[in-house]
Amino acid sequence: MKPVGPIPAGYAAIDGDLAIGGRRVSELVAEAGRTPLFVYSRSHLDARVAELRAALPKRIGLNYAVKANPHLAVIGHMAPLVDGFDIASSGELGLCVAVGIDPERISFAGPGKRDDELEAAIAVGVTLNCESEGEAARALAIGQRLGKRPRIAIRVNPSFTMTGSGMKMGGGAKQFGVDAERVPALARAMIAQGAEWRGLHIFTGSQTLSADAIIEAQGKVLDLAAELAEVIGHGLPKLNMGGGLGIPYFPGDIPVDLPRVGAALAERVAHLPPVLADTELCMELGRYLVGEAGVYLTRIIDRKVSHGVTYLITDGGLHHQLAASGNFGTVVRRNYPSAIATCYGAEPTEEVNIVGCLCTPLDRLADNAAMPHAEVGDMVAVFCAGAYGATASPSAFLGHGPAAEILV
């Protein structure tokens, strides 16, 4: 038997059904008209932002990384809660503009921005986090053609990374950012050519649960930013410190000690060098803001036994929840947090494999998991589905199509 991951706090049962945002899943599915269905909880989003505001020093702004969950209703809900938005494509820019977000609150990162994307961003006043000398030159040329002064920050490829991060974004050769030693010359050249200097973006890693690793990385980021600002000689309007805070997915995962991270950051911020005295500071968070606010609901359409093993076959699967299937960067497959949503909180009575509808043995949602007895028509809930679920999974695979999404 394999344990499932820890279910996030804030979920309860109403008359045996899992409740999300105070509403039963059977009611939510009826409203959506179908399964599979992603449900995102406003109350979880609000609580996470409030928790961060309470723990972090007031000087640290919060940016939402739209790539974590670009659902329009989620972006719109986050708009009054956070200070800025980080995008990674002109498509995400269009979503932010569609919900009325001021482009001056938006920054645009990504190592392969097309000319048409640079033009769209410059035209509306988005800050470009430039990732190479070539990109900076293209942006300046486009700005000159448009008669618009481009707002440009530099994404830095630092020599260090975040220890224990699930996805390392710095250290050594990387497609991301400008190597730190080349940043000052590029910054001075851009300023001389008329760019509006917006500062630095230093992102070292993601999905880290260790407070020690986060604190160490944040300290190094602040040290590097101060060193670069001194050499650039034009001050540092803004520093995007990146994020990296992870959420527990698997058995044994322990949540980030956020108060400890906040206290260490407050100590550092209180003793910044003069070159950073007026710098606007922010953290860029995606998964940590929205991951635990999402639940993926999929209905059991068959129950079968093969060689004594019970399979619950659902109408969902890896085409919506690639990470939960174990096919998104994990080496050893472990079970995500999951439950039978229509008898939520009931004691387990059997060991089952929960699989999806796709014609591949890779389509697994839970292996050898202890669950209460479930029949055809019952629903399975996969938790921690608010980030990198609907849009990071191959929804076109085998032609089943995307899941529905709602915010409650």
Given a contact cutoff of 8 angstroms between Cβ atoms, the answer to whether 141 and 120 are in contact is no
- Across 159-168, 191-200, 330-339, least confident range: 159-168
- 189: CATH: 3.20.20.10
d(CA 172, CA 270): 31
Same structural domain, 272 and 297: no
Residues forming beta bridges with residue 305, ordered by sequence position: 310
Whether residues 100 and 35 share a domain: the answer is no
Cα-Cα-Cα-Cα torsion 15, 291, 294, 405, nearest 10 degrees, comes to 180
List 153's β-bridge partners, or say none. Answer: 129, 199
Cβ proximity of 191 and 153 under 8 Å: no
Total number of domains in the chain: 2
Same domain, 276 and 378: no
Q: How far is CA 105 from the centre of its chain?
A: 18
In a domain, 307, yes or no: yes
Do both 182 and 275 map to the same domain? yes
User: Do residue 357 and residue 393 come from a single domain?
Assistant: yes
Judgement on whether residues 304 and 400 belong to the same structural domain of the protein: yes
- 34, part of any domain: yes
pLDDT digits 0-9 by tens, 139-177: 999 999 999 999 999 999 998 876 655 555 556 667 778
Residues 398 and 256 in one domain: no
- Tell me whether residue 219 is in a domain: yes
Residue 127: CA count within 13 A, CB half-sphere: 22
CATH number, position 313: 2.40.37.10
Average pLDDT over residues 217-234: 96
Task: Tell whether 159 and 206 lie within a shared domain.
Answer: yes
pLDDT given at position 161: 72
Residues in the chain: 408
Among 285, 320, 352, give the residue marking a domain's end.
Answer: 285
332 pLDDT band, cuts 50/70/90, is confident
DSSP 245: B
Average pLDDT value for residue range 354-379? 97
Question: Is residue 54 situated within a structural domain?
Answer: no
298 plus 261 within the same structural domain: no
Is residue 60 domain-resident?
no
Is residue 5 in a domain? no
Which of 227, 259, 285 is the C-terminal boundary of a domain? 285
> Do 299 and 270 reside in the same domain of the chain?
no
The answer to whether position 172 is within a domain reads yes
Residues 5 and 24: their CA atoms lie apart, in Å, by 22
Q: What is the average per-residue pLDDT within 95-101?
A: 97
Ordered DSSP codes for 208-235: B--HHHHHHHHHHHHHHHHHHHHHH-S-
Identify each DSSP E strand in 132-275 by its residue range: 151-157, 167-168, 178-179, 196-202, 205-206, 238-240
Q: Is residue 64 part of a domain?
A: no
Give pLDDT, residue 331.
61
The per-residue pLDDT of the chain, averaged, comes to 95
234 with 112, same domain? yes
Burial of 30 (0-12, 13-18, 19+ CB in 10 A): exposed
Q: Sign of the CA dihedral 110, 111, 112, 116?
A: positive
Q: Containing domain of residue 344, as a range?
A: 12-40+292-407
The answer on 258 and 333 residing in a single domain is no
Mean pLDDT score, 114-125: 98
Domain end among 255, 285, 315: 285
Cα→Cα distances 26→342, 377, 381, 388, Å: 8, 11, 12, 24
Calculate the alpha carbon distances from 213 to 11, 16, 247 in Å. 29, 40, 14
